[in-house]
Amino acid sequence: MNLRVVNEKISRFKLMSSIGVIAAVIQSGAILHALSTNIWLLLVMIAASAVAFICLAILIKVLTGKNDHVMLRYFIAILLFNYFIIKLLNQPLFPYMEILALGYGTIIFFGRFGCYLAGCCHGRPNSFGVCYGHDKVKKGFPNYYSGVRLFPIQIVEAIGILTIVCISILALLKNPDHGIGLTVFITLYGLLRFVLEFFRGDPERPYFLSFSEAQWTILFLFAALTVSSLWEIIELSNWQILIHLLLASAFLSIGAARIIRPQLRINEPPHVKELMSIKLDMATRFVKVHTTLLGIQISGCKMKNETHYTISATKMHLDHRAIENLKMILSIKHRPSSCEILNKHPGIFNLIFISKSE
């Protein structure tokens, strides 16, 4: 969950997150009461979580100079810090670690509504969704998506995580001593989050080797669960092991496919942002050629009510599907009344966007 901490985004996100924190504390107390477990350790964990959150926020600010709050980072930091606190106090790990994870889930449930209201962590262009206006652009929202309908991926995640939290609570209440609630939550939320990341459209989300930071984090969490299971700290059911194996296989398969066919990465948010930032030249003999990080060479010029692009590539084979994707992306930028695709020379395409005459 990437949040640019500015103006309206602060108030809306903080409001929903604050409600989430209060709900998480109430939820945790109710679970402990239902399990007839001492509640004093909950107060210690709340304090420890606050310390871990603040320390990590300061560290990120010092190292990057930014106030980016990626909640999965805080989830790992809070779990690890409380793990050592619980061990230091000679208390059982479970159900306390499970309660922490489920509290995180509740905070994310409310936080995603904050994202929806603020316009961060949004989806990609879709026929169904929400439109954000120029007021959001002033606060960090991508200007090229202003007035464009975006899939409400934040709401989908909120509904999904609420369902997962409820399932995990039932698993915890049924068997509170073996970390079942924790493993169920991480497995199901990890699967949900891994899939939903492919539908994100916000360009500031960190990517490495075409996977987002959240997807790498999920892979790390699944590996940590597997190691913990081997060390007999927790128990994993067969269906959880199957999901871990399937996700790892998907990770390798998708990664390999994107290396072999880099045109599959054309719609990735950082590349979309790069395409949208290309400045057009006026119709002259000399037109600047831009080369994107994927090796797509593109030049463009503006002539009255027409915009012309010439597109080729150095690191991939441009097929008609890739050109259609580029057409869709650039159409968002120009919003033409019509578009023509020409392919007079092998590997070289021309896109002509025609706008209505003013």
How far is 299 from 281, CA to CA, in rounded Å? 8
Same domain? 104 vs 144: yes
Same domain? 110 vs 172: yes
Angstrom CA distances, 236 to 110, 222, 227, 251, stand at: 29, 11, 11, 21
Same domain? 300 vs 237: no
Please write the tens of the pLDDT for every residue from 290-299. Answer: 889 899 999 8
Same domain? 46 vs 85: yes
User: Is the model's pTM score more than 0.95?
Assistant: no
Same domain? 92 vs 140: yes
Tokens of 69: 């709050």
Would you place residue 282 in the very low, low, confident or very high pLDDT band (cuts 50, 70, 90)? low
Residue 265 lies in a domain: no
Q: Give the count of domains, the chain.
A: 2
Residue 213 lies in a domain: yes
Same domain? 252 vs 156: yes
Mean pLDDT of 118-131: 90
Same domain? 196 vs 277: no
Same domain? 143 vs 242: yes
Same domain? 254 vs 313: no
Same domain? 308 vs 201: no
Please write the tens of the pLDDT for every residue from 6-35. Answer: 344 447 778 898 999 999 999 999 999 998
Closest listed residue to residue 187, CA positions, set 223, 158, 230, 156: 223
Of the residues 260, 286, 316, which one is the last residue of a structural domain? 260
For residue 307, the enclosing domain spans: 270-354
Q: What is the DSSP string of 245-261?
A: HHHHHHHHHHHHHHHH-
Same domain? 154 vs 227: yes
Residue 171 lies in a domain: yes
Closest listed residue to residue 24, CA positions, set 112, 101, 117: 101
